[in-house]
Amino acid sequence: MAELKVSAIREGTVIDHIPAGKGLEVIKILGLNRVNGGILLLAAHVPSKKLGRKDIVKVEGKFLSEEEVNKIALIAPNATVNIVRDYKVTEKFKVDVPEEITGILRCANPNCVSNHEYTTSRFYVVSKDPLKVRCHYCERTMEGEEILRNL
Ligand code: CTP
């Protein structure tokens, strides 16, 4: 099978092993669509040995920190982040679920204040695997499918 080449970057961050179809959401969660300057590359539905198909996001000229990238852990739990300098991968890390999740997830409790006022949602991670979170405002816990439905 012919291999599709996605061009290498000189300097910046490559987020690899994103589930196919989730690359655009990764870009939005990280606010990369609002960054001026560097080139942003999204490769979608790329064949992958591990995942079948995957998305890849490349950001030229910007080095994302582990903390920033961990925001995507809920939608891309197996993503790897590569820091590239002078065309070489100089650092590689896996995303990790952060201790607190703010602004990404909606609370499943329709009466929760975070669903009614201009409040940023906030959850504490009670367990990482399997993922279980607790709302800071109403203490409702969420896990499994319920988390995915409220992303
Ligand atoms: N990459 C890039 N530009 C570079 C170097 C690497 O865009 N100058 C990208 C590669 O295309 C790949 C990712 O960064 O998507 C990681 O590169 P590398 O570690 O060389 O690839 P693998 O060994 O296949 O990574 P892994 O084991 O994490 O799958």
Task: Please report, as a single letter, which amino acid is at residue 72.
Answer: I
What pLDDT digit, counting tens, does each position of 114-134 carry? 998 889 999 999 998 889 999
pLDDT, position 59 = 95
The pTM of this model reads 0.86
Q: Residue 67: which pLDDT band, with cuts at 50, 70 and 90? A: confident
CB 78 within 8 A of CB 56: no
- The token pair at 41 is 């590359």
What pLDDT digit, counting tens, does each position of 1-16 carry? 456 677 899 999 999 9
Q: Which residues contact 18 (CB under 8 A, 6 or more apart)?
A: 26, 54, 55, 56, 57, 72, 76, 79
82 lines ligand 1 (CB under 6 A): yes
Residue 141, pLDDT > 80, answer yes
Ligand 1 centroid from CA 15, angstroms: 9
Phi, psi of 140 (to 5 degrees): -65, 135
Which helix (H) or strand (E) segment is 144 a member of? helix 144-149
Residue from 9, 10, 16 whose mutation best tests the ligand 1 pocket (most atoms within 8 A of CB): 16
Q: Which domains does the chain have, with CATH numbers?
A: 11-94 (3.30.70.140), 100-149 (2.30.30.20)
